Chains A and B, each alone.
Chain A
Amino acid sequence: MRSRDPAGAPSRGAAVPSASGHWARKDLLGLRELSAEEITFILDTADAFKQVGTREIKKVPALRGKTLVNFFVEPSTRTRTSFELAAFRLSADVVNISATSSSLQKGETLKDTAQNLQALHADILVLRHSSAGAAQFLAERLHASIINAGDGAHEHPTQALLDLYTIREKRGAIAGLHVVIVGDILFSRVARSNIFGLLKLGARVTLVGPSTLVPREFEKLGVTVSHSLDEVLPTADVLNLLRIQHERQRKKYFPGLGEYIRLFGLTRTRAKLLRPDCVIMHPGPINRGVEIESEVADGPQSVILDQVTNGLAVRMAVLYLCGGISG
């Protein structure tokens, strides 16, 4: 073998990268179980895949012959499309299954549906599910690579990775930055994955929102909790505004939209409190006029569309890494 080929590789089940910086996981379930080195490894790999988007031919044969199933039990358009496009650019074949079209509607269990997909030789399963731990459940039972595309209020690792990638791209490094996450933290898997990733990479994290949605218990994770956005804005290097999830809200948690905008909406006036180099992020879809005023969302500090572009590169990297190791 060539001298650059890795030797003494750990077995597939070992799921531990060697100290010299190799990738050896078949699944991506969350950022909590990844080391800082593994997260950085994914971000570095995404750099190379972002470059592919600038080539004359924006497609590489890395996953040629592999079959990817987008298995979205919970509705999603942007995440599914991003994974689908990432798979196309890696030359994988893609099948999309949504909740309404699947036999889950007919009472089949998640495990049975997944085993049927495996019987069809699906190599990679991208799963979006309303229950926390659904991805882990399948990863323990199937040979296919499982990529968690959001499980309940647990984790959404690729969203956090694209956020980290965008922060690193815009600010040069993540360590030492003050990242402020605003909104519905309690129900947000995006917030949880971001918190794990940001802390591992050495950022300082402040969560802001109404006390019902941002309880003090979060401080046990190693973050600061604040209920006043105006106090936190002047020291923020990154502002990540989470979407208010109308579909998940129950009245008892939520003060009402007008009240929320008055206290936590990023209005033009409030945006003036930000440092000029602070970047404004939002995982989308944005509720214009709620989390963020239109002019601010379209303004020079907003990197919301960069996040979408970077999401493609990050998902290509994740599919390449998890789908490209032996199974």
Chain B
Amino acid sequence: MKKQTTVRHSDLAPVMDAEAIRRALRRIAHEIIERNRDLSALVLAGIPSRGVEIAHRLASYIREIENVEVATGVVDVSMHRDDVGTRACLPIVQSSHLPLPLEHRTVVIVDDVFFTGRTIRAALDAISSFGRPARIQLAVLIDRGHRELPIRADYVGKNMPTAADERIRLRLQNIDGEADAVWLVKEPQT
């Protein structure tokens, strides 16, 4: 008998499809508008690579809703991580770009999946090397739990309780060339 093959991601029903992602991000855009009266002082700072894409989408929803152009930026956390010397290979470091000065601005860190909180800690550290923003908020598409640091999100697209051996698989059209979707997968990534 043929050995049982692993189930492919695309065979499973996604937890969120393109429409669910669109609605979640649109709601976050509304919440950001509600919480921040002065949208001209806002910076949506994405963490590469999918956080940058999500930040651009949030900016375009805010433009549609309020007809205001919100600044966007990029915060790469590679240089600020706390796991130096523990990885066998390193991914590319992207350049960070933030509109300066940050002093009177509100920076909204934007990321795809909120997990241990270590990436966000690194992002806070990275932002502080550019200046001292008036305040920093956090927007994530998915919160999967398992925090290891006392960090919480201000805006959450979807809370998705997960087991430690599960993994969130997110695909975004502009980054991955596949239709927007989120899956919860058990198998280790190959």
The reply to whether A325 and B90 contact each other, CB–CB distance below 8 Å, is yes
CB distance from B128 to the nearest CB of A (A): 7
CB pair B89 A24 closer than 8 Å: yes
Please tell me if the beta carbons of A8 and B190 are within 8 angstroms of each other in the complex.
yes
C-beta contact mask, A57-69 vs B, less than 8 Å → 1, else 0? Answer: 1011111111000
By the criterion CB–CB under 8 Å, are B92 and A41 in contact?
yes
Instruction: Let me know if B67 is at the binding interface, CB within 8 A.
Output: no
Distance in angstroms between the alpha carbons of A11 and B88 in the assembled complex: 6
Contacts of A12 in B (CB 8 A): 88
Determine whether B106 belongs to the interface, using a CB cutoff of 8 Å to chain A: no
Enumerate A46-81 residues with CB–CB distance to B below 8 Å.
47-52, 55-57, 59-66
In the assembled complex, the Cα of A11 lies from the Cα of B90 at a distance in Å of 12
CB neighbours of A317 from chain B (8 A): 93
- A45 near B92 with CB under 8 A, answer yes
How large, as a class, is the contact surface on chain A? 35 or more
* Shortest CB distance A103–B (Å): 28
User: For residues 20 through 34 of chain A, which have their beta carbon under 8 Å from a beta carbon of chain B?
Assistant: 21-24
* A24 x B84 contact (CB < 8 A): no
Known: A10-B89, A57-B128. A324 touches B84 (CB 8 A): yes
* Contact B93–A45 (Cβ < 8 Å): yes
Q: Is the CB of B93 within 8 A of A48?
A: yes
Q: How far is the CA of A47 from the CA of B96 in the complex (A)?
A: 10
Residue in B85, B97, B125, B169 with the greatest tally of chain A CB atoms within 10 Å = B85
- Residue of B95, B97, B119, B126 with most partner-chain A CB within 10 A: B95
The chain B residue sitting closest to A23, CB to CB, is B90
Q: Which residues of B contact A59 (CB under 8 A)?
A: 129
B91 x A55 contact (CB < 8 A): no
Instruction: Give chain A residues whose Cβ lies under 8 Å from the Cβ of B168.
Output: 3
The proximity string for A residues 222-239 relative to B, scoring 1 for CB distances below 8 Å and 0 otherwise, is 000000000000000000
Residue pair B79, A3 in contact (C-beta under 8 Å): no
| Contact of A22 with B89 in the complex, beta carbons under 8 Å | yes
- Chain A residues near B113: list those with CB within 8 A: 2-3
Query: Is A44 part of the binding interface, using a Cβ–Cβ cutoff of 8 Å?
Result: yes
The answer to whether A250 has its CB under 8 Å from any CB of chain B is no
Known: A2-B113, A48-B76. Contact between A57 and B87, CB under 8 A?
Answer: no
Residue of B nearest to A123 (CB): B85
Q: Range of interface residues on chain B? A: 35 or more
Interface centre among A3, A44, A50, A65 (most CB of B within 10 A): A3
Q: Mark A291-327, 1 if CB is under 8 A from B, else 0.
A: 0000000000000000000000000010011011111
Partner of A326, one of B86, B93, B170, B190: B86
**Complex formed: what's the CA distance from A41 to B78 in Å?**
15
Chain B residues with CB under 8 A of A152:
none
Query: What residue of chain B has the Cβ atom nearest to residue A64's Cβ?
Result: B84
Given contacts A2-B115, A52-B79, contact A21 B91 (CB under 8 A): yes
**Is the CB–CB distance between B189 and A325 below 8 Å?**
no
Partner of B89, one of A6, A44, A50: A6
Which residues of chain B (50-94) have a CB below 8 Å from chain A? 50, 76, 78-81, 84-94
B130 pairs with A55, CB closer than 8 A? yes
Q: Which residue of A lies closest to B51 (CB)?
A: A4
With both beta carbons as reference points, the residue of chain A lying nearest to B118 in the complex is identified as: A2
A22 and B90 contacting across the interface, CB-CB below 8 Å: yes
Given contacts A2-B119, A61-B80, contact A325 B88 (CB under 8 A): yes
Decide yes or no whether B27 CB sits under 8 A from chain A: no
* A113 interfacial contact with B, CB 8 Å: no
Q: Are B167 and A3 in contact (CB under 8 A)?
A: yes
Least CB separation from B49: chain A residue: A4
B residues at A contact (CB < 8 Å):
49-50, 76, 78-81, 84-97, 112-113, 115, 119, 125-126, 128-131, 167-170, 188-190
- Given known contacts A4-B50, A52-B79, what 5 new A-B pairs fall within 8 Å (CB)? A3-B113, A4-B91, A57-B129, A62-B81, A65-B84
Q: Can you show 5 pairs from A to B with CB atoms below 8 A apart?
A: A6-B91, A7-B189, A9-B88, A48-B93, A59-B129
List 7 tightest A-B contacts by C-beta distance, closest first.
A9-B88, A60-B79, A24-B89, A22-B89, A57-B129, A48-B93, A62-B79
